[in-house]
Structure 1
Amino acid sequence: MSDDSSSVAGHGCTTSDLAFADHDHSHCTSDVLARAEALAKASGARLTPVRRRVLEILLEEHKALGAYDVLQRLAAEGFGNQPPVAYRALEFLVDQGFAHRVRRLNAFTACMHPGEAHAPAFLICKTCAIVAEAPAEAVRAALDAAAKDLGFAIERTNIEALGLCPACQGQAA
């Protein structure tokens, strides 16, 4: 598992601070896309042209996109304009661990750690809508312990925090 100081595949992309900093995003994109392709091939899952394009769209920025935002992009590129096109591709990406659903925004963001066991928290800037995937293993462990004390078995969590990114904090000051 990665912490927020580790780099993504040696490209200098860190896991949590990068979404809020200027960087060469092409390294993040190419690395995540290559890992997703390798994982899909290894598991026998089909990363069809539509699914691949949806992942590319999610990787273009560190923002979460709604299904209709994705659908508009797909339609403009000739991939079809019916909602199931986007929803099925997004569902596949989430099921494969290549994307996450950000429930607060009813949107999706690319997973920056496909194939890695991790418990992310999503840091959502309420002004610019940038989303960072931050490590939250300690939060998840505390939640699991609290649930266990109550005899509850957690099946799924989605940890999201709403606030201001560094750039928006600077503009507010």
Structure 2
Amino acid sequence: MSHASRHSHHHEHEHDANAFVGAVSSACELRGLRLTPLRLRVLELIAAEEKPVKAYDLLDRLKDEHGSAAPPTVYRALDFLLENRFIHKLESINAYVGCHHPNEAHQVPFLICDVCSGAVEVCDERVSRLLSEQAKERGFRPRAQTLEVHGICAACRAAVVPA
């Protein structure tokens, strides 16, 4: 399949997805982690999505491709990716999304749209610094944490309310 024939308007995203998968692959090599074919495939599926993806959607995709995908193996792959901070789990919608900075541990706020389920990662050092400082002042040691802010994104708001 020629590259041009694939949805050209997704080109930007495809490039991002490839870059993300590449960043994770090299992070695994550096850290001596095994990125098995299944882990890699799960990662690629998450990267290819425009939106957070649920585990059963991943299972369906994998079944289409392989004819079989055992839920436990898929969950183990997700756990591996989560543990190593390559993806985030958005607990409030029970869905997974790729991490913009797979090479650094960080706390990230996500803005999650209740209408289209889109999620935007807010990359701002000030937010994580503030959270870390507040936790430290209280003698609280945070684990990996994802801040989830629900609302309606600009595109959905524009669709509902005439400008």
| TM tier relative to shorter chain | 0.7 to 0.9
**In structure 2, distance between residues paired with 1:97 and 1:156:** 8
How many residues of Structure 1 are paired with residues of Structure 2 in the alignment? 152
Contact 1:125 1:164 in 2 (8 A): yes
Max radius of gyration: which structure? 2
Alignment counterpart, residue 116 of structure 1, candidates 104, 123, 139: 104
**Which one has more relative contact order, counting CA pairs under 8 Å at least 6 apart?**
1
Aligned pairs for 1:1-173 (under 5 A) are: 24-78=12-66, 80-173=68-161
Q: Looking at secondary structure, tell me which structure has more helix per residue.
A: 2
- In the TM superposition, residue 150 of structure 1 has moved relative to its aligned partner by 3.0
CA contact (8 A) 1:118 1:135 kept: no
> In structure 2, how many angstroms separate the alpha carbons of the residues matched to 1:126 and 1:136?
22
Does the CA contact (< 8 Å) of 1:59 and 1:109 recur in 2? yes
Aligned-partner Cα distance in 1 for 2:67–2:87: 20
Gaps of 5+ in 1: 1-21
Conservation of the 8 A alpha-carbon contact between 1:93 and 1:99:
yes
Aligned-pair Cα RMSD in Å: 1.8
Identify the residue that residue 5 of structure 2 maps to in structure 1.
none
**Cα separation, 1, equivalents of 2:72 and 2:18:** 27
Paired with 1:79 and 1:98, the residues of 2 have a C-alpha distance of: 26
Look up the equivalent residue of 1:112 and give its one-letter code. Answer: H
**TM-score for both structures, normalised by structure 2:** 0.84
Deviation digits for residues 49-83 of structure 1, max 9, x if unmatched? 11111111101123111211111111111063321
Residues 124 and 164, structure 1, Cα contact 8 Å, conserved in 2: yes
CA distance in 2, matches of 1:171, 1:23: 25
Q: Which amino acid is the alignment partner of residue 98 of structure 1?
A: F
- What's the offset of the Cα at 1:147? 3.0
Gaps of 5+ in 2: 1-9
